[in-house]
Amino acid sequence: MALSVTMYRFDVDLSDVDRGVYEKLDLRAAQHPSETIPYLLTRVLAHCLSYEEGIQFSRGLAFPDEPALWVKDLQGVTQAWIEVGTPSAERLHKAAKAVKRVSVYTQHGLELLQRNVRGQKVHRMEHIEVFAVEPSFLADLERVLERSNSWSISRNDGEIYVAAKDKTLNTRLAQHTLGA
């Protein structure tokens, strides 16, 4: 018997002071059977913290040539490619050649991602933004995760606060470049 996807709903009140973005988001995220909860949570955080007009989840892990998220303009042209996890140097090279803006949100640590691309050819590597989400923060988020979630997410000076189920969790989310 094949495993099915698990749907999660996120009503998010987003207040991103660092970028001047204030939105109410209604997200539905499908968890593929092979997708871990930390990956799912990183994907949802990436959506919220990269929010702009045209952002959307891709079709998922079953479509390996697509990123976790992307931003498309009204004509359907990809404007930003957003990866989650630890994408290969080859994948990042291909993305950076195709799209001007490439970002990575990783739950595995910046050092692992940098080690995987060291010595590899990655187009415009110094322009790829990387955000490393602390595994302990994701573990705390997992404890408050439900199938239907009402979250308030705030970012101010690189500090991320998530209020959910009468708890407020926080972490520092520094921006790095892959080439640094």
Least confident interval from 10-19, 46-55, 101-110: 101-110
- pTM score: 0.92
Mean predicted confidence (pLDDT) in 140-154: 97
Q: How large a percentage of the chain has pLDDT more than 70?
A: 97
* CA angle (106 as vertex; 138, 124 as ends), nearest 5: 160
pLDDT tens per residue across span 60-96: 666 778 899 999 999 989 999 999 999 999 999 999 9
CA–CA dist 90, 60 (Å, integer): 19
Mean predicted confidence (pLDDT) in 27-39: 93
Q: Which two tokens stand for residue 96?
A: 């950076």
Could you give the domains of the chain?
A: 7-177 (3.10.640.10)
pLDDT tens per residue across span 108-132: 888 888 888 888 888 988 899 999 9
Residue 152's alpha-carbon distances to 20, 39, 145, 148, 149, in angstroms, are 16, 20, 13, 14, 10
Residue 2 reports pLDDT greater than 70: no
